[in-house]
Amino acid sequence: MKPHAELLLDCRNATGESPVWHGGEQALYWVDIPARKLCRWQAGTGGFTHWEAPEMLGCIAPGARSGRWVAGMESGLFELQTQPDGQLHSQLLAPVEHAQPGMRFNDGRCDRQGRFRAGTMVMNMGLASPAGALYGLDQEGDLKKILDGFITPNGLGFSPDGRTVYISDSHPSVQMIWAFDYDTATGTPSNRRVFVDMNPLPGRPDGAAVDEDGCYWICANDAGLVHRFTPDGQLDRSLAVPVKKPAMCAFGGSGLDTLFVTSIRPDGVDLSDQPLAGGLFSLQPGVRGLPEPEFAFPV
């Protein structure tokens, strides 16, 4: 019997993305991109809190100190600090020179060494502009372009040993997932190869997570599924969620054995067949994930 998706919060996110489990707080953090919100759900109480950011938030990763986050936004990478009074303090770490107007950061996370990696995209996906790039922010505070030529970079994930990095392009005209060798000393990807061609499979590749067995889980946007691929790119299983647009998944819970899934609530669409669109869900997939590495902010 396949795991049943449980609704944790009917939060109605416009675009719920970048879920990250915070073990110290036993809480899940994530963002609602167009709403400019950093969100938190606490496992013990079910309590929900959110903070408003000055720009759209594309992705987050935890800092080494409690309450601090590194975030990919519109104009660059920021340090965020949640405040007891409900405010969110933001400080620019590194500005980005976008290839063209109307761009923002999208998917991102830290590698196993704690270096932040995030991709940019043109917000108007109808333009199908390959102006997106993958950037890297190291602990010294230097922002460098690592890869380019993406329309909608997504699905960033690292193998348990950190020596393979996965990246997808979720644009409807692409729908590919690639694997790269990853130099853990320099943070440099090489030897690009097709990991999975999602075109013949249900759904577009969106946000992803890697479990302790090295299998790659990716949300199948438009198909209401989360796919699991083995390290050799074979589809292992597909789990259903009760919405069409799951956006990103993350392992969490006290045993890192819960798969949390954020989702999208599209505007101007009849949602009578998916009233929970934009909600936060959980699954018990029978496998464990890995803790998210923390980013060491520059002094």
* Residues identified as active-site: 206
Place of tokens 């309450």: 67
Dist CA 168 CA 216 (whole Å): 12
How many CB atoms neighbour CB 43 within 10 A? 19
Residue 267 has, within 13 A of its CA and on its CB side, a CA count of 5
| Chain CA centroid to CA 105, Å | 11
Place of tokens 């109307």: 102
The DSSP bridge pattern shows strands 153-158 and 164-169 to be antiparallel
End-to-end CA distance of the chain: 50
| Chain CA centroid to CA 208, Å | 6
What string of DSSP letters covers 157-217?
Answer: EE-TTS-EEEEEE-STTT-EEEEEEEETTTTEEEEEEEEEE-TTSSSEEEEEEEBTTS-EE
